[in-house]
Amino acid sequence: MPKKTIKTFHVEWLQVLDERGNCDEELRPPLSDKEIQKLYEWMVLARAFDEKAFKLQREGRLGTYASILGQEAAQVGSAFALQPGDWMFPSYREAGASIVRGLPLKMVFQYWSGDERGSRIPQGQNDFPITIPVGTQIPIATGAAWAAKAKGDKIAVMAYLGDGATSKGDFHEGLNFAGVFSLPVVFLCQNNHWAISVPVSRQTRAETLAQKAIAYGFDGIQVDGNDIFAVYKAAHEALGRARVGQGPTLIECVTYRIGDHTTADDATRYRTEEEVREWREKDPIDRLKRYMGKKGLWDEAYDHKVALESREQVEAAVAEEEAIPPPDPRDIFRYTFAELPEDLKEQMEHLFGSDGRPNP
């Protein structure tokens, strides 16, 4: 039998901005001063949103909520690389990316309050609604990328996922299909080290998650997920390749979930205070702030202004969301079938009467 050549591989690691705010200027993407400040402002807004959402949940004004604390750079940096015509497929922990994409904050609060109208993405915004079941957004995003390629649309698709999703069949099916058909899709994995209580070491024996792309015939890159410059650079380049027909990319953003998995979780039961403290010192916002301070782009007055405006924007969104009239209970029946079956018509009339008013 003829011998097969076994190819060796390596996974690139990318860091541009270290924890002390020191930057490799040769690697830094060509962002203007205003763009760098905008990235900082989006991260501060995302954190203000997250803090408010957590408090609202504890007050019973939101349902179960998934915090993004500590993952702001991975979300803001990657979403900033998207163009308006590109499609974004989030999981349930991408509030920061949604903010950058322009989804009204009131709608994000509306969704987490349990009102499905928060999933009605505004016309013309190419974002898919939040996906709760782990990994299910991946093959859908791959399908959207296949459709874009078939139509000749010069766009890219970005699918967000967590490290836990790499253990789902949806992940492997989506990546395999994307590789076979060389589709314009970027898979953005936020490796925050914990899939609820399961550490990434129990998800895989592989040294990286990024290397999983190699089995499907395309590139994977591992980046410092708390370095917004590295995230943006990797996402910008991968999306650019996708748009010109050079196929998919898997980006692993190594970051950390500072908070609990959701407000229904207690992370102190499975991880140490020392581990959390170590990652707090790698805070993505503080890191960019240190760099901006060295460049004259940040001072105390600017920081106070950004924090105040962010809180005001979040409070205004909460007021808007809570002023929205409750949904019509008949919507339970209205949006499942194009034409309502007779048995459901009977149920609706039994509950609401022929005039549409609820029966006593």
Domain(s) labelled CATH 3.40.50.970 in the chain stretch across: 12-21+28-327
* Residues 229 and 23: beta-carbon distance below 8 Å: yes
Count of C-beta atoms within a 10 Å radius of residue 275: 13
Task: Please say if 10 is a catalytic residue.
Answer: no
Kindly provide the residue ranges of all beta strands, DSSP E only, lying in the chain, ordered along the sequence: 12-14, 87-89, 157-162, 185-191, 194-195, 198-199, 219-224, 249-254
Is there a catalytic annotation at residue 280?
A: no
For residues 220 and 15, what is the distance between their CA atoms, to the nearest angstrom?
15
Residue 224 is classified by DSSP as: E
pLDDT tops 80 at residue 298: yes
* Cα 91-105-72 angle, rounded to 5 deg: 55
- pLDDT tens, residue by residue, 20-78: 999 999 999 999 999 999 999 999 999 999 999 999 999 999 999 999 999 999 999 99
Say if residues 185 and 148 touch (Cβ distance below 8 Å). Answer: no
Give yes or no for residue 331 having a pLDDT over 90: no
Give the list of residues 6+ apart from residue 236 with CB closer than 8 angstroms, or none.
29, 81
Catalytic position from the list 101, 257, 287, 290: 257
Tell me the pLDDT tens digit for each residue of 152-171.
999 999 999 999 999 999 99
pLDDT over threshold 90, residue 6: no
Nearest 10 degrees: Cα torsion 178, 183, 185, 189: 20
State the Cα–Cα distance between residues 68 and 302, nearest whole angstrom: 24
- Tokens 């959402």 appear where? 53
Judged on CB neighbours under 10 Å (0-12, 13-18, 19+), 212 is buried
Whether the pLDDT of residue 5 is over 80: the answer is no
Residue 257 appears among annotated catalytic residues: yes
Q: Angle at Cα 305 formed by Cα 299 and Cα 309, nearest 5°?
A: 150
85 three-class SS: coil
Query: For residue 113, what pLDDT is reported?
Result: 95
For 343, list phi and psi in degrees, rounded to 5.
-65, -35
Picking from 17, 24, 20, 23, the residue whose alpha carbon sits closest to that of residue 77 is 17
CATH, domain range 12-21+28-327: 3.40.50.970
Determine which of 89-93, 199-203, 275-279, 348-352 has the lowest per-residue pLDDT on average. Answer: 348-352
- Return the bridge partners of 136, or none: none
Convert the pLDDT of each residue in 105-140 to its tens digit.
999 999 999 999 999 999 999 999 999 999 999 999
Give me the catalytic one of 117, 202, 270, 334: 270
Q: Of residues 47, 193, 236, 261, which has the active-site annotation?
A: 261
Q: What is the structure's pLDDT at 9?
A: 79
Ramachandran category for residue 217: left, alpha or beta (phi over 0 → left; psi -120 to 50 → alpha):
left
Q: Which amino acid is at 49?
A: F
Nearest to 188 by CA among 157, 145, 167: 157
Lowest pLDDT segment from 250-264, 272-286, 324-338 = 324-338
Whether the predicted pLDDT of 360 surpasses 80: no
Contact 143, 119 (CB under 8 A): no
Three-state DSSP state, 168: coil
